Structure 1
Amino acid sequence: MSTTQIDRLRDLLEPLAGERGLDLEDITITPAGKRRVLQVVVDTEDGVHLDACAELSRAASEVLDEADVMGGTPYVLEVSSPGADRPLTEPRHYRRSVGRLIRVRLTDGEELTVRILAVDEAGLDGEIPGEKGRKPKPRRVDFEGIAAARGEVDFSRKPKKDEEA
């Protein structure tokens, strides 16, 4: 789809998401037979609940029907959260991932898995998990040195202090 259609969709949907305390992360349109699938991905600092996705979906459906930005071709609207293995492209994505494992490809080609401990304006402080009984190693990664990063599914993640209760 053309970028202009995505831009028009973003202009329509971003205010709806913002009114509900959600950040509009991504919009994609994918052909699916005679239909298209319009995927809207939203997030918050605390994650997204199913009720918030359903509420945004209802509001977005009404606005999209009125604006006719999708044209005459039938489409299916999907509103969801990014998922554990989301790409990390904004500093807020890293802040939301504190305590989690991420996979990072640096601009020099090095690839590493890091557990994020803290995030500031310039980058993140993390630790590279120890293997076979070894202790984790601290590692500083500046945002300007990151070529790509993605969340990792992490079965060993320790709960945050407010999640323990």
Structure 2
Amino acid sequence: MSTTQSDRLRELLEPLVAAKDLDLEEIEVSRAGRRRMLRIVVDSEEGVELDACAEVSRAISEKLDESDAMGDEEYVLEVSSPGADRPLTEHRHYVRAVGRLVKLTLTDDAELIARILVVDEAGLDLEVPGVKGRKPTARRVEFADIAKARIEVEFNRKDQNEEDVTDEKEEEA
């Protein structure tokens, strides 16, 4: 059984990333002209701040310099957090997305946009927004029925914390 370069890199870097209380989400090695590009995506329950990305990037760079995991060729290292519209591929991704709007492509090719309310071991309890003034409806989707899932970016949704602050200001007035 052969292991790919990504597998070897994951074995080398996962303990280092975990020591920083982060999850190693993705490793991608690609060509960028004459150089190679090593992209690493990290995340955590609280998200990842820029300083944490910089810190883990330095630690990864040192570890790679000590090893021969990237060979002799030059490479560019890029460490980042997942984008706002990240795909959901692991159970922990769904847990982190509770309260968020997601777009699901089901195994029967149906598409569904809904808000995740609850995540358990078998699937999701969702709130499907109402159309044309109708009330939202509840729906259950099992993980086995999900082909793809992605966070939907929302620009108009008030954060629960913003609503709490607004309520407190109204009470003070």
Q: Which amino acid aligns with 2:128?
A: I
Give the whole-Å Cα distance in 1 for the aligned partners of 2:162 and 2:54: 26
Q: What is the correspondence of 1:9-158 to structure 2 with a 5 Å cutoff?
A: 9-158=9-158
CA contact (8 A) 1:43 1:81 kept: yes
Give the whole-Å Cα distance in 2 for the aligned partners of 1:139 and 1:158: 23
Report how far residue 130 of structure 1 moved.
1.9
Q: Which amino acid aligns with 1:52?
A: A
Structure 2: give runs of 5+ residues left out of the alignment: 166-173
Provide the TM-score with structure 1 as the length reference: 0.93
Give the whole-Å Cα distance in 2 for the aligned partners of 1:78 and 1:85: 19
Root-mean-square deviation (Å) = 1.8
Identical-residue share of aligned pairs (%): 65
Give the whole-Å Cα distance in 1 for the aligned partners of 2:17 and 2:160: 27
Structure 1: give runs of 5+ residues left out of the alignment: none
Structure with higher Rg: it is: 2
Provide the TM-score with structure 2 as the length reference: 0.88
Measured at CA, do residues 37 and 46 of structure 1 come closer, stay the same or move farther in structure 2, by a change above 3 Å?
same
Q: Name the count of aligned residue pairs.
A: 164
Give the whole-Å Cα distance in 2 for the aligned partners of 1:98 and 1:27: 25
Give the whole-Å Cα distance in 1 for the aligned partners of 2:164 and 2:82: 24
Q: Which amino acid aligns with 2:62?
A: E
Measured at CA, do residues 33 and 51 of structure 1 come closer, stay the same or move farther in structure 2, by a change above 3 Å?
same
| SS of residue paired to 2:13 | helix
Q: Which amino acid aligns with 2:37?
A: V
